[in-house]
């Protein structure tokens, strides 16, 4: 299948590469031209839509999605009726619904299908994909999604995918903070972090988040698989959505302030495992 792919950042580049590995022809575009072996590069989002009936977008946030899909030189200037836009960015559910309405006015179908797993799973092609939209559209692109992911679940109408992603990002942020707080406590009490990790990872406190992030913290490795700045964006969208629908998010609000503090201290481009740096600053203990 010929697939358009717009947005070749930390996540988008390996996702596009996995589509090529699966045998698809990829027509790619990014404002910063980057190399994806086997992809054909277009000169604009519009040019991608001129060549492809299925267009995937993987962009930083809602304003970028609206610009790429609905703006001047965007997808909808050239997309033919019956085309499908799959936005795999993490954006506010309301923005996804707004873009879907603009697509529908042009006879274009849309799914919002954000992902979880960070760069390692984008590279491995084992992302968790949470989608919103019509079942018929989801079924039509399911095999394409599974070239990039280990699972793809239709969660409801357009916007549901990003609602689930916000829930995911709340859980991940709070979990990383809990690991940071608990391991800092045990370190300050004189227990080696590696011993704590080995002792609890197989019990109820064990989690995929701890398994992925605790070793990074112990190694002092904050190379971004998912940047603090991006997690701030997701928590902002979660808080905004919570305020709109009247859902209290006290833990999310607290983690937002922790991450804002880290950004102010220069850690915004680090992996979100650098939340531990907040606890190092509070306690004077590094582990």
Which positions are annotated as active-site residues?
165
* DSSP output for the chain: -EEEEE--STTHHHHHHHHHHTT-EEEEE-SS----TTPEEPSSHHHHHHH-SEEEE--SSHHHHHHHHHSTTSGGGTPPTT-EEEE-S---HHHHHHHHHHHHHTT-EEEE--EESHHHHHHHT-EEEEEES-HHHHHHHHHHHHTTEEEEEEEESTTHHHHHHHHHHHHHHHHHHHHHHHHHHHHHTT--HHHHHHHHTTSTT--HHHHHHHHHHHHT----SSBHHHHHHHHHHHHHHHHHHT---HHHHHHHHHHHHHHHTT-TTSBGGGGHHHHHHHHS---
């Amino acid at each position: 299948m010929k697939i358009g792919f717009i947005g070749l950042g930390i996540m988008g580049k390996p996702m596009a590469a996995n589509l090529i590995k699966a045998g698809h022809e990829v027509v790619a575009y990014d404002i910063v031209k980057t190399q994806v072996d086997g992809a054909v590069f277009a000169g604009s989002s519009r040019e991608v839509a001129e060549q492809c009936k299925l267009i995937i977008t993987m962009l930083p946030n809602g304003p970028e999605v609206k610009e790429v899909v609905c703006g001047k030189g965007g997808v909808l200037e050239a997309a033919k009726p019956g085309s499908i836009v799959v936005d795999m960015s993490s954006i506010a559910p309301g923005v996804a619904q707004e873009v879907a309405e603009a697509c529908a006015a042009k006879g274009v179908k849309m799914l919002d299908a954000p992902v979880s797993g960070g760069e390692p799973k984008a590279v491995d092609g084992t992302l968790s994909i949470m989608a919103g939209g019509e079942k018929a559209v989801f079924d039509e692109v399911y095999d394409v999604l599974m070239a990039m992911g280990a699972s793809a679940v239709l969660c409801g109408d357009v916007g549901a995918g990003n609602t689930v992603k916000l829930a995911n990002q709340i859980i991940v942020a709070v979990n990383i903070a809990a690991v940071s707080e608990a391991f800092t406590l045990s370190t300050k009490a004189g227990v080696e972090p590696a011993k704590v990790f080995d002792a609890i990872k197989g019990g109820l406190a064990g989690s995929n988040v701890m398994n992925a992030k605790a070793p990074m913290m112990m190694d002092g490795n904050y190379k971004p698989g998912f940047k603090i700045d991006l997690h701030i964006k997701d928590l902002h969208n979660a808080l905004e959505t919570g305020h709109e629908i009247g859902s209290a998010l006290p833990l999310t609000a607290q983690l937002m302030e922790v991450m804002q503090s880290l950004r102010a201290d220069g850690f915004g481009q680090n992996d979100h495992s650098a939340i531990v740096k907040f606890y190092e600053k509070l306690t004077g203990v590094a582990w």
